Amino acid sequence: MTMHRLIAPKKTLIYIIYTSLSCLLVVVLNIIHTLYVLKIELTANTFAIPLFAGIVFGLMLAHIKALSARLKELAFTDSLTKIYNRLHFAHFLDAEIDKAKRYGTPFSIIFFDLDHFKLINDTYGHQVGDEVLEEVTRVVASINRKSDIFARYGGEEFIILTPETDLSGAMIHAERLRDKIEKYNFKTIGHLTSSFGVTEFKGENDSIEELLDRADIALYQAKELGRNRVEKA
pLDDT digits (tens, 9 = 90+) for 92-129: 999 999 999 999 999 999 999 999 999 999 999 999 99
Last residue within a domain, chosen from 25, 46, 76? 76
How would you class 137 by CB atoms within 10 Å of its CB: exposed for 0-12, middle for 13-18, buried for 19 or more? Answer: buried
Same domain, 38 and 119: no
Does residue 10 carry a pLDDT above 70? no
Same domain, 193 and 168: yes
Same domain, 164 and 57: no
Q: What is the pLDDT of residue 43?
A: 73
Q: What is the pLDDT of residue 36?
A: 80
Same domain, 141 and 192: yes
182 tagged catalytic: no
Say which CATH number the domain at 139 has: 3.30.70.270
Same domain, 65 and 160: no
Q: How many domains does the chain have?
A: 2
Q: What is the pLDDT of residue 3?
A: 38
- Average pLDDT (198-227) is 96
Residue pLDDT, tens place only, 63-95:
777 776 666 666 789 989 999 999 999 999 999
Residue pLDDT, tens place only, 17-41:
767 777 777 778 777 877 788 787 7
Does residue 2 carry a pLDDT above 90? no
Determine the Cα–Cα distance for residues 164 and 151; give it in Å rounded to an integer.
18
Last residue within a domain, chosen from 76, 104, 135? 76
Q: What is the pLDDT of residue 116?
A: 96
Same domain, 24 and 90: no
Q: What is the pLDDT of residue 41?
A: 76
Same domain, 59 and 94: no
Contacts of 92 (CB under 8 A, 6+ apart): 84, 149, 161
Q: What is the pLDDT of residue 6?
A: 38
Same domain, 121 and 193: yes
- Give the 3-state DSSP-derived string for 93-143, with helices as H, strands as E and coil as C: HHHHHHHHHHHCCCEEEEEEEECCHHHHHHHHCHHHHHHHHHHHHHHHHHH
Distance between first and last Cα of the chain: 36
Q: Give the mean pLDDT of the chain.
A: 87
Q: Cβ distance 170 to 76 under 8 Å?
A: no
Same domain, 117 and 201: yes
DSSP state of 106: -
DSSP state of 203: -
Same domain, 52 and 91: no
Q: What is the pLDDT of residue 90?
A: 94
Residue 116 lies in a domain: yes
Q: What is the pLDDT of residue 215?
A: 97
How would you class 195 by CB atoms within 10 Å of its CB: exposed for 0-12, middle for 13-18, buried for 19 or more? Answer: buried
Last residue within a domain, chosen from 42, 58, 76? 76
Q: What is the pLDDT of residue 101?
A: 93
Residue 176 lies in a domain: yes
Does residue 7 carry a pLDDT above 50? no
Range of the domain at 158: 86-232
Residue 81 lies in a domain: no
Q: Which of 156, 157, 209, 210 is catalytic?
A: 156
Same domain, 138 and 227: yes
**Measured on CA atoms in the order 136, 142, 144, 149, is the torsion positive or negative?**
positive
How far is it between the farthest Cα atoms of the chain?
Answer: 83
Residue 163 lies in a domain: yes
Q: What is the pLDDT of residue 8?
A: 53
Does residue 196 carry a pLDDT above 60? yes
Indicate whether this model's pTM tops 0.85.
no
Residue 177 pLDDT class (50, 70, 90 cuts): very high
Same domain, 193 and 148: yes
